Amino acid sequence: MNYTRQDYCQALRAFLELGDGIPELRQYSPALKALLQGLEDGYLRRDTLVPECACPWCGYRFDAAMAADPAYPDATPSPGDVSVCTSCAQILVFADDLTVRAAMPGEVEFTPELRRAQQAARTQRTDR
Ligand SMILES: [Zn+2]
């Protein structure tokens, strides 16, 4: 079965309503609320697997990327594309092998989408 974003949001809302009343589940509420917010904002999209690599700024290791622009939820990364580390919110650029490197000063244009992706990464980080 294929689920839509609305299905996931509905399921999370239902679980949050129940979970708040159950002490053993209440601890998960902040994480679920952040997940729901991400889904509603359109920041959580299909993951694309990339070669495992580390953020050059903070060392965070990852092996997946997702589109930050809500207009292109199924976009996949290409060499030269700009990305944001979900751990430290620094700007990254995909290399030819789809690992990432630090963006050079002046290399990246700070679009509204990029600022929103950075803000989302910072919000996630403070929720940990
Ligand atoms: Zn990082």
pLDDT in tens, 87-127: 899 999 999 999 999 999 899 998 888 898 898 888 876 55
Å from CA of 37 to ligand 1 middle = 22
Give me the long-range contacts of 76-84 (CB less than 8 A, separation at least 24): 76/48, 77/48, 77/50, 82/108, 82/114, 84/114, 84/117, 84/118, 84/121
Å from CA of 87 to ligand 1 middle = 5
pLDDT in tens, 26-51: 888 888 888 888 777 765 556 778 89
Å from CA of 76 to ligand 1 middle = 20
Å from CA of 63 to ligand 1 middle = 13
0.75 exceeded by the pTM?
no
Å from CA of 30 to ligand 1 middle = 23
